[in-house]
Chains A and B, each alone.
Chain A
Amino acid sequence: MPGSLDERLVRELSFPRERPWSLYDHPNLIRVASVLCFLTAWEIYGRRTDPLLLTYPTAVFWAAVQLIRSGELFRQLLVSLASLSVGFGASLLLGVGLGLAAGRSRLAEALLDPHINALYATPQVALTPLLMMWFGLGFSVKVVIVFLFAFFPILINTASGVKNVSGSMVEVGRAYMASEQQLLLKVVFPAALPFIMAGVRLAVGRALVGMIVAELFTAITGLGAMLTLYGNLFETAKMFVVIIVLGLLGVGLIQATQALERRMARWKETERAVS
Chain B
Amino acid sequence: MNLADTVVGTTVTIEGISGDGSFRRRLFELGMLPGTEVTVVGIAPLRDPMELRVRGGSLSIRRTEATQIVVDDSQCRKTRSASESDVSLVPERWLGSMQ
Please say whether chains A and B are actual partners in one complex: no
B interface residue numbers (CB < 8 A to A): none
